[in-house]
Structure 1
Amino acid sequence: MTPEKAETTALNALGWLVSDEDLLPVFMGASGVDQDALRASAGDAAFLGSVLDFLLMDDAWVIRACDALNLPYDHLAMARQMLPGGAQIHWT
């Protein structure tokens, strides 16, 4: 996974999220973004990472997004690791 592929994956996930009438308001409420900020931030890799962080909070969301985007279930997590702030933290 390259950073460019990760951004494309995250942008596709954002597109899916925007089309989900039930989940989009949850994301907007949790992140504090409104529709204008959502549009303005779509090209920001750090924001796209936050989209993936949100989706990765619930396995059901991952499954729904990946099924809709025809991606393997681990693909969102792999993409997240390549975006700003996505490095795995090791506590030992």
Structure 2
Amino acid sequence: MQRSRQAINREAAEVIGIQALGWLATQDDILMAFLGATGASMDDLRRGATDHAFLASVLGFLGNDDDWIRAFCDEVGLPYEQPMLAMQMLAGPSMMHWT
């Protein structure tokens, strides 16, 4: 069941990023794709839980595939737009919008 949309603050964004990292670690095929696409190692995954930029990259990667983002959100009970809002909060001003 989906929760209603909530505003995203830094703390909520961090929680969503950590949830996404944990979910990613349980999805062998998606995890291997992430590691291959980013060049990250398993050690980077372990350290990444405290790095906002890394958590933003996890959320951005999951957002590349609608099925992945839906599966993640369904498992943790988030509205589908929350991961992208969290990614934007974690990435901060480094995330440029050209549209």
In the superposition, the TM-score normalised over structure 1's length comes to 0.90
Pick aligned residue for 1:71 from 74, 78, 82: 78
Please give the per-residue CA displacement for 1:20-64, whole angstroms capped at 9, x wherever unaligned. 112110111111011111112221001100001100111111101
Aligned residues: 91
Q: Secondary structure at the match of 1:22?
A: helix
Give the counterpart letter for 1:4 in structure 2.
E
Query: Deviation at 1:18?
Result: 0.3
Identity, % of aligned positions: 44
CA distance in 1, matches of 2:88, 2:68: 18
CA distance in 1, matches of 2:89, 2:57: 12
CA distance in 2, matches of 1:27, 1:80: 16
Q: Which residue of 1 aligns with 2:3?
A: none
CA distance in 1, matches of 2:88, 2:49: 18
Structure 1 segments, 4+ long, off by >4 Å, are 85-88
Bigger shift: residues 6-15 or 82-91: 82-91
Q: Which residue of 2 aligns with 1:20?
A: 27
Pick aligned residue for 1:89 from 72, 79, 97: 97
Q: Which residue of 1 aligns with 2:5?
A: none
Q: Any unmatched runs of 5+ in structure 2?
A: 1-7
CA distance in 1, matches of 2:96, 2:82: 15
Root mean square deviation of aligned Cα: 1.5
Q: Any unmatched runs of 5+ in structure 1?
A: none
Give the counterpart letter for 1:35 in structure 2.
M
Query: Deviation at 1:90?
Result: 3.4
Q: Secondary structure at the match of 1:83?
A: helix
In the superposition, the TM-score normalised over structure 2's length comes to 0.84
